[in-house]
Amino acid sequence: MKTSYLDLSLEEIHNLLKTKKIKVKDLLDECFERIEETKDLNAYITLDKENAYKKAEELDSKEVNDNLLFGIPIAIKDNILTKNVLTTAASHILDNFYPQFDAHVVDLIKEKDMVIVGKTNMDEFAMGSTNETSYYGKVLNPYDKTRVPGGSSGGSAVAVASKTAIFALGSDTGGSVRQPASFCNIVGLKPTYGRVSRFGLIAFSSSLDQIGPMSRNVYENAILLNAILKKDERDLTHHEKEEDFTSLIGKDIKNLKVAIPNYYISDKVSENIRNRFKEIVSLLEKKNVKVDYVDIDHLKEAITLYKIIGMGEASSNLARFDGIRYGLTIEGNYSSEEYVKKVRSLGFGEEVKKRIMIGCHILSGENAKKYYHKALVLRNEMTNSFKDIFKKYDLIISPMTSSSAYNFDDKNNHDFDDILAIPVNMAGLPAISIPISKENLPYGMQIIGDSFSESKIYQLAYAVEKMIGEENV
């Protein structure tokens, strides 16, 4: 049976391109064949075949340099702006919205001569964790189509997991890169807040949102993060801290100090995941990694903080969608107020409407002081609790989710998944999810670092990935 180019490592693909044994067009042919074969997964909202093949033709006429991302197919979450390519954030209200400019990260991947295959499905305006709130239909998990892929970057996770793209970009507001990565057996990183420019990201919660890379393995994840870092003056929260994130990959992890929050390994996490996590901890201890169990304040309040801050900021950010300047329009003789009300009623899904209404209540009058301002104080206390841990430890590790992917009709409460994910966003910290499951259904392990410690996260993540690979030999 012929080996798929999409099964090869990034370096193997690069060498084939460099020696002209394959063309970029060959990679795209395989991608679009796979997309057609797996279209029932509903990972994509829009395919960009015409531009992709035009780019491939241009690249195939060039000499290939040492850029590992040359000609590599990537999928983009549909809340990241792509010039003249339909961008919907999976919402009816953005029907026929063709941006006039690229997001900063899209500019950068184009500079690296990557090829965009399409825009991926997602929860509407990134509000959800199952990928069921999309106007374009739910996304299915490639490991079991009756189960959720995770969200809100479910389409991006499925695109990588189903081998329709080598890479994807997602966004993470409360676990939206890491949770689907866990459920779909891929690697997903939420960078430090401000590490990657948010210019051109359709905002959900501006103080929490962060664009992150999704990939097949740890090394390739670091390569993509390297590519999307360049300073952007248009995002005032963006930090100018460029570095090579592969620099610590493969380095000895001996004497790293790692903390495990007691609350994160309670019986709220399923027994099989707890047991597997303990096996990973034992492997780390055999490598002379120092592991301690710690308590971190305010983890239990994470969901409440997320709802207050996230919904408050969402109600403000989504006020701009009115059907007047772009997106959904309707016919009829309406006053301006009636028109906006009608467009927003038709254009937004139920989950988005609910969050806007709650957010408006949170920010109205005295409620802003009563809820939002108090939440910011508690958020600061949570951040300081993490900072105290990082005075003594290099990294924090935990399960990424409390279970593997659950069924679409599952009525159980999965709030603990949010408690595992959200504090990282509240504190603006970097965190990665890497696959650790030995079972048929995937799940991941989370590695959290102090601000701007992505290289150290990749160091440990790569070591764990390698240890798991050696287990399977």
Per-residue pLDDT tens for 316-338?
999 999 999 899 999 999 999 99
Confidence tier at 145 by pLDDT (50, 70, 90): very high
Three-state secondary-structure class, residue 291: strand
Q: Mind listing the pLDDT tens digit for each residue in 203-237? A: 999 999 999 999 999 999 999 999 999 999 999 99
Which positions ≥6 away from 123 have C-beta within 8 Å? 90, 129, 130, 131, 132, 133, 134, 151, 152, 154, 176, 351
Domain range holding 76? 1-473
Reading the block at residue 343, the tokens are 């467009």
How far apart CA 119 and CA 28 sit, in angstroms, is: 15
- Cβ atoms within 10 Å of 303's Cβ, excluding its own: 17
User: Which pLDDT belongs to residue 224?
Assistant: 99
Provide the annotated active-site residues: 77, 152, 176
Tell me the pLDDT tens digit for each residue of 400-435.
Answer: 999 999 999 997 889 999 999 999 999 999 999 999
Model pTM?
0.97
Give me the phi and psi of 453, to 5 degrees please: -110, 30
Element (DSSP H or E) covering residue 11:
helix 10-18
CATH code of the domain containing 448: 3.90.1300.10
Residue 270 burial (10 A CB sphere; 0-12, 13-18, 19+): middle
Report how far residue 9's alpha carbon sits from residue 15's, in angstroms, rounded to the nearest whole number. 10
Residue % of the chain over a pLDDT of 90:
96
d(CA 191, CA 455): 11
- Contact residues for 364 (Cβ-Cβ < 8 A; gap 6+): none
DSSP codes of every residue in 210-237: -EEEEESSHHHHHHHHHHT----TT-TT
Which residues fall within 8 angstroms of residue 197, CB to CB, at 6 or more apart? 103, 104, 105, 211, 232, 234, 235, 238
Q: Which residues pair with 444 in a beta bridge?
A: 435
Tell me how many domains the chain contains: 1
If pLDDT is split at 50, 70 and 90, which confidence band does 2 have?
low
Q: Which contiguous run of DSSP H or E holds residue 112?
A: none
